Each structure stands twice: as structure tokens, then as C-alpha cells.
């Protein structure tokens, strides 16, 4: 990949044009907050590394070791100065406008979490209510919470590396939703995250919807492997995967799941773990799993695994629609009407799902260290939503071992993660993961996939 070796200065686009002198100093390389600078640099590199063909975060970082970004304080505000950035972010020597806007979104969120969240005692990361409050304030600061707007935001989950027929199908579903005035929120990357946004943009244009919303939620650990696509016009960087997942279900009004891999399975288990909690059984939350006819076996395997691991009650929380984009869009629209009626009846905000009860174990940041992964309880002798929480953590560990820089290095140092559980669950998990490998849903381009995990039954 070629690089633009010249120093480029960028003027703010979006919502941030001033920083305090303290905030500027914190974001300098070599400062006391050098870790903050490195987080900012990695996220900025991911934004600039658009259309990357690799999902290996370490490879991206090593390839661009000489990339530098600086915050420049001026009398009229701030500018960003970048050097040795990926050439794909430029058109005729200028950074693409959407990418430029996303860079300042990164700066806004990284600075806000450091200076307004982490150092403020009113935010309590040790309680469930405190974590939800943190998520709310980050989203509010990013101005993605829109009051007095009817429920119309559909979260789309799916893989960043999918086959062409699956990509085209995701795009068609997005198009059908766009025609119906629905807006899209995804993990902001390529593949099944980009396609529905692209389709929705066409649908919005046909309906003369001038301000389509294409919301992207990400976090520093995954962003290098899933660089934001430039269609995203509302980018938010959450501090960790758990707050990102909570942001999806608090902000979105319904969810459509497209074909994906381990990360998509993690997201499904997160939501099912919440919805199987008895406190949430009365809350409408449309969830549709969908794909082209070629993805029928993929969703059958997902469905079988959910039935075996979590039981038939968990299956009642979603429907599977194969090869019918119009039906998906119609059912989502109908589901959002139920959400609107419920929120109105219970005086809950349209813009943030306060009533939804998310158990603390789903909110606690999980660091996939070998000892913590080995201690996961993947057994049925516990409530369904608690089993779902540990299954979600197991998938999160595999994602880290596959694509996250820290996870990859951990596997190289200590070997594969050791995952233990009931024989039947482990057998089903092994079959599901094996199908992901054979369908090339877990891969590093140009390399044979080597599992970052070993499964053991008790």
C-alpha cells in the first residue's frame, strides 16, 4: 500500500474545533499521557486506512509504523497534521471529506473519555447504572441522541469479510429499509457493515431524505481490523467492546443480523443474554437474522447452536428470513411500530432505551487473558442469561486472538486460549467454529487459519 509522505494539515469538520491547552498537551507523543496519544494515533490510522484488505490489526500497525499525527493549536482553533498516511485516504492529494470528518470524531471521543469520563468521580464504572450513564454521556457528547424523533434506527450486524452474493444481499436489505425511511447503525467497517449503509443511501435519495443517518460504533481494540467506511456520517468511538455493545442496544430500535463470523456470534449472544433475562421479557426488540439463499446453512448452524446452548426460549426472541429483503424491511418496520408504542406507553425515551435491564456481567470489560478465558463457566447449571454472558466472553476472546494486536501477541506468548465447558456445548461450539473456518469466515488474507483456541469438555 502506497503512502502520502507529505505533511497534510486538516481543518475541523464536524463537531470539534477547539481543545484546551491541557487536552492538546495530553495528545502529544512523549507526553505523560503517551498511552492516550497512541490510542488516538491507532484510531486515526484506522480511519485513514480505508478499504484495507487485511483484518490483522498488528499487520496494519507494523506496516504504518512511520505514520504520525499531531494536534496543532492555533489562534483560530485546532488543526490536525498528518504524515505518512495511507494514500487510499486521499483524492488528488486531498483527504476525502468523510474521512476528515471521522478523524475529528476520533479526536472528540478520545479526548472526552479521558478528560470528562475517566477523571470525573460522578461516573461510576463499578456499577451497572454507572456504566449505562457513561455510555449515555459519550453518545450525547457525540450528538447521536436525537430527541423527538420517531424510532427509526436499525442496527445491522454482520461480518466485515463476506462473499459477494452476501454483500449484494445486505445492500438490497439496506435499500429496502431506506425506501421505508429507516436509518442504519453498524459497527462502521466494511462488508456487512458498509453494504446496508450503501443501500440505504440509495433508498434515502429516492425518497428525498436529505439527511440519512449512517451511524458507526466502534472501539480502539477492533477499529484497526475494521476501518470505518467513509459512508459513516456519525462515528462514535466507545472505550471498550462492552460499552460498544451496550450503545448498540440502547441507541438502536431493532437489529438485523447478516452473515458473519465469531464477532457476529458474540453480538447475537450479547443481545440474547439480555433478552432472556426475565426482567426484559416484556420489552419489544425486533431481531431478524437474514441472508441470501447461500447463507441458509450458516443461519441453520447458528440457530442449532442457540437451541442447544441456550434452549428453545432463546429462539423465540428472533426470526430467520432467507432471501427476502422486502420482507425483512417490512417486518423491521412493523417491529419498530411496536417499539414506538411501548416506549410511549412506558414514558421511555425514543433516543435511548433506559428501561432495558443489562446485567452487570454483560457490562464489565472482559480482558481476554488466558487465566480468565480458562475460568469461563460454559455449563448449563446456571440461568440462561448467565451462560450467554460467558459464551459471549468466549467468542470475544477468539475475536481478540484472531484480529486484535494485543490478543495476537498474547497467543504467540502463551499459546491458544483454553476454553472449558459441558461436553454437549463444547461439541456444538467446535462444530460452529469449524463451519466458520470452512466457510472462510475466520481468516487472515493470504494465510491458512490457525485456531487461537483449544476446546475441552468437563
pLDDT score for 444: 53
Report the pLDDT value the prediction gives residue 6, as an integer from 0 to 100: 75
Helices H / strands E in the chain, number of each: 17, 16
Query: Most distant CA pair in the chain: distance in Å?
Result: 65
Q: Whole-model pTM?
A: 0.92
Place of cell 456444538: 428
| 203-241 residue pLDDT tens | 999 999 999 999 999 999 888 778 899 899 999 999 999
- The CB-based long-range contact list for 336-344 (8 Å cut-off, 24+ gap) reads 336/151, 336/152, 336/154, 336/182, 336/253, 336/254, 336/286, 338/284, 338/286, 339/151, 339/253, 339/254, 339/284, 339/285, 339/286, 340/150, 340/151, 342/283, 342/284, 343/151
Q: Where are the alpha helices (DSSP H) in 276-383?
A: 296-310, 312-315, 325-345, 360-363, 370-374
d(CA 125, CA 288): 32
Pairwise CA distance, residues 7 & 73, whole Å: 16
- Secondary structure of 242-265 in HEC code, one letter for each residue: HHHHHHHHHHCCEEEECCCCHHHH
Residues of the chain with pLDDT under 70: 1-3, 13-18, 30, 32, 34, 51-57, 75-76, 443-447
Residue at grid coordinates 439480555:
274
Rounded Cα distance, 395 and 43, in Å:
23
The full set of domains in the chain, from first to last, is 3-97 (3.30.1850.10), 133-345 (3.40.50.450), 360-457 (no CATH)
Q: Contact 60/22 with Cβ under 8 angstroms? A: no
User: Contact 42/220 with Cβ under 8 angstroms?
Assistant: yes
CB atoms within 10 A of CB 39: 21
pLDDT at 364: 93
Which set of grid coordinates corresponds to residue 310? 441456550
- Torsion angle, alpha carbons of 249, 254, 258, 264, to 10: 10
CA–CA gap between residue 96 and residue 354 (Å, rounded): 37
Question: What integer pLDDT is reported at residue 56 of this predicted model?
Answer: 62
Amino acid at each position: 500500500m502506497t503512502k502520502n509522505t507529505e505533511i497534510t494539515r486538516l481543518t475541523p469538520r464536524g463537531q470539534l474545533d477547539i481543545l484546551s491547552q491541557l487536552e492538546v498537551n495530553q495528545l502529544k507523543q512523549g507526553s505523560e499521557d503517551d498511552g492516550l496519544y497512541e490510542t488516538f494515533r491507532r484510531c486515526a490510522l484506522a480511519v485513514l486506512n480505508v478499504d484495507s484488505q487485511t483484518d490483522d490489526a498488528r499487520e496494519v500497525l507494523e506496516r504504518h509504523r512511520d505514520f504520525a499525527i499531531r494536534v496543532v493549536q492555533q489562534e483560530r482553533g485546532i488543526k490536525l497534521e498528518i504524515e505518512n498516511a495511507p494514500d487510499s485516504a486521499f483524492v488528488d492529494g486531498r483527504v476525502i471529506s468523510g474521512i476528515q470528518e471521522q478523524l475529528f470524531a476520533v479526536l472528540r471521543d478520545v479526548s472526552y473519555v479521558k478528560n470528562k469520563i475517566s477523571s470525573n468521580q460522578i461516573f461510576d464504572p463499578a456499577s451497572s447504572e454507572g456504566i449505562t450513564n457513561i455510555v449515555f454521556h459519550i453518545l450525547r457528547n457525540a450528538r447521536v441522541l436525537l430527541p423527538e424523533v420517531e424510532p427509526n434506527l436499525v442496527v445491522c450486524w454482520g461480518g466485515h469479510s463476506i462473499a459477494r452474493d452476501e454483500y449484494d444481499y445486505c445492500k438490497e436489505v439496506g435499500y429496502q429499509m431506506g425506501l421505508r425511511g429507516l436509518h442504519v447503525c453498524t459497527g462502521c467497517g466494511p462488508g456487512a457493515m458498509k453494504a446496508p449503509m450503501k443501500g440505504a443511501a440509495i433508498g434515502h435519495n429516492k425518497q428525498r431524505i436529505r439527511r440519512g443517518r449512517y451511524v458507526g460504533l466502534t472501539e480502539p481494540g477492533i477499529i484497526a481490523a475494521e476501518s470505518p467506511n467513509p459512508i459513516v456520517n456519525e462515528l462514535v468511538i466507545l472505550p471498550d467492546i462492552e460499552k460498544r455493545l451496550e450503545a448498540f442496544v440502547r441507541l438502536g430500535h431493532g437489529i438485523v443480523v447478516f452473515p458473519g463470523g465469531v464477532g457476529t456470534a458474540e453480538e447475537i449472544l450479547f443481545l440474547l443474554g439480555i433478552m432472556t433475562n426475565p426482567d426484559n421479557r416484556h420489552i419489544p426488540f425486533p431481531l431478524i437474522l437474514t441472508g441470501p439463499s447461500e447463507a441458509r446453512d450458516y443461519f441453520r448452524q447458528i440457530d442449532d447452536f442457540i437451541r442447544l446452548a441456550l434452549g428453545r426460549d432463546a429462539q423465540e426472541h428472533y426470526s430467520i428470513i432467507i432471501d427476502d429483503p422486502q420482507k425483512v424491511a417490512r417486518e423491521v418496520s412493523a417491529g419498530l411500530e411496536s417499539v414506538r408504542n411501548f416506549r410511549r406507553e412506558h414514558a421511555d425515551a425514543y433516543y435511548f432505551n433506559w428501561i432495558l435491564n443489562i446485567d452487570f456481567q454483560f457490562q464489565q470489560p472482559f480482558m481476554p487473558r488466558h487465566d480468565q478465558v480458562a475460568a469461563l463457566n460454559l455449563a448449563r447449571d446456571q440461568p440462561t442469561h448467565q451462560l450467554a454472558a460467558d459464551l459471549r466472553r468466549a467468542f470475544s476472546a477468539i475475536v481478540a486472538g484472531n484480529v486484535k494486536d494485543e490478543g495476537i501477541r498474547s497467543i504467540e506468548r502463551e499459546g491458544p486460549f483454553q476454553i472449558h465447558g459441558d461436553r454437549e456445548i463444547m461439541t456444538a461450539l467446535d462444530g460452529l467454529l469449524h463451519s466458520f473456518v470452512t466457510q472462510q469466515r475466520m481468516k487472515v488474507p493470504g494465510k491458512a487459519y490457525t485456531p487461537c483456541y483449544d476446546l475441552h469438555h468437563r
